[in-house]
C-alpha cells in the first residue's frame, strides 16, 4: 500500500484546490447535510438528516476499505463512495471510487458526466487514457504514487498491464459523478436501441449487433 504521505498529498492536491475549482456541485448553504438516502424526494442531493440526530459515524465510512471481487469478464471491480453509499458526503461536492484490477483487468471505457476525476495508483502498473471531444487519445502508463487526471465527461478507461494486482483510488469533485459505461449503455439499454441505429453507427451487420447485445442481455 502507498505511504500515508502519498495519500495525504493526493487528497490535498485535489480537495484543497481554490474554491472556484473545488466542486462541480452547487456550494452548500450549511456546514453539512448528512443525506437521508431513503427520502421519497430529492433534488440535486438528498434532504438533510436532523442535526440533532447526526453523529461522528455519519462522517466516516469503510465502504472502500476492502478489495472488490474481480471474478468477472472484465477482471475488475469499482466500489463507489458517493453520497448514496456515504451519506455524509451529501452537498459537500466530493466523492471517491476504489478500482480493483486483477492481472489483465480492465475498467472498460466509460465517462462521468458530472465530475472531473483524479486517479492515484496505490498498487501495480496501469494504463489510463481518455479521448477528447476532438477525438484525440491521451494515455499514460502509471505506477505506485503517480497521478492522472481525466477531464469531466470524457470517455476513459483503466487497464492493469502489470503482472500482479492493481489498485487505484479515484477522487471526484462531485458527490454523485454518475457513470455512463459505453458498451452496456449502447448494447444493453432498456428498451433496446434499434439494431438499425447501432449497425449504421458502427458500420456492421445487424447480426453483429445482436451478438453483442446478447452479451449484455442480463
Q: Which residues are annotated as a binding site for oxalate?
A: 97, 107, 112
Question: Binding site: what residues are annotated?
Answer: 97, 107, 110, 112, 156
Give the neighbor-by-neighbor strand order of the sheet with 106-111.
137-142, 126-131, 155-160, 106-111, 180-181
Q: Beta-strand (E) ranges in 22-136? A: 76-81, 95-101, 106-111, 117-123, 126-131
Cα–Cα distance list, 20 to 16, 75, 92, 162, 170 (Å): 11, 38, 14, 37, 20
Phi, psi of 122 (to 5 degrees): -90, -35
Query: Which residue ranges make up the annotated binding site for Mn(2+)?
Result: 110, 112, 156
* Cβ atoms of 126 and 106 closer than 8 Å: no
| Distant-in-sequence contacts of 6-9, Cβ < 8 A, 24+ apart | 6/120, 6/145, 7/120, 7/122, 7/169
Q: Collect all residues with Cβ–Cβ distance below 8 Å to 126 and sequence separation of at least 6.
A: 101, 141, 142, 158, 159, 160, 161, 162, 166, 168
Using omega within 30 degrees of 0 as the cis cutoff, is the peptide bond preceding 183 cis?
no
Amino acid at each position: 500500500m502507498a505511504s500515508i504521505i502519498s495519500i495525504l498529498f493526493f487528497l490535498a492536491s485535489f480537495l484543497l484546490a481554490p474554491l472556484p475549482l473545488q466542486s462541480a456541485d452547487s456550494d452548500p448553504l450549511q456546514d453539512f447535510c448528512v443525506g437521508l438516502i431513503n427520502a421519497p424526494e430529492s433534488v440535486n442531493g438528498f434532504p438533510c438528516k436532523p442535526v440533532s440526530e447526526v453523529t461522528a459515524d455519519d462522517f466516516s465510512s469503510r465502504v472502500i476499505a476492502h478489495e472488490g471481487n474481480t471474478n468477472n469478464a472484465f477482471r475488475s471491480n469499482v466500489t463507489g463512495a458517493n453520497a448514496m453509499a456515504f451519506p455524509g458526503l451529501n452537498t459537500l461536492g466530493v466523492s471517491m471510487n476504489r478500482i480493483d484490477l486483477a492481472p489483465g483487468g480492465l475498467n472498460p471505457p466509460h465517462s462521468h458526466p458530472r465530475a472531473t476525476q483524479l486517479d492515484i495508483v496505490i498498487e501495480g502498473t496501469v494504463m489510463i487514457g481518455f479521448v477528447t471531444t476532438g477525438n484525440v487519445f491521451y494515455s499514460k502508463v502509471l505506477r505506485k504514487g503517480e497521478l492522472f487526471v481525466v477531464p469531466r465527461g470524457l470517455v476513459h478507461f483503466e487497464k492493469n498491464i502489470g503482472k500482479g494486482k492493481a489498485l487505484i483510488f479515484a477522487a471526484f469533485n462531485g458527490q454523485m459523478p454518475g457513470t455512463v459505461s459505453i458498451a452496456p449503455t449502447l448494447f444493453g439499454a432498456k428498451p433496446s436501441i434499434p439494431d438499425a441505429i447501432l449497425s449504421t453507427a458502427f458500420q456492421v451487420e445487424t447480426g453483429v449487433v445482436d451478438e453483442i447485445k446478447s452479451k449484455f442481455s442480463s
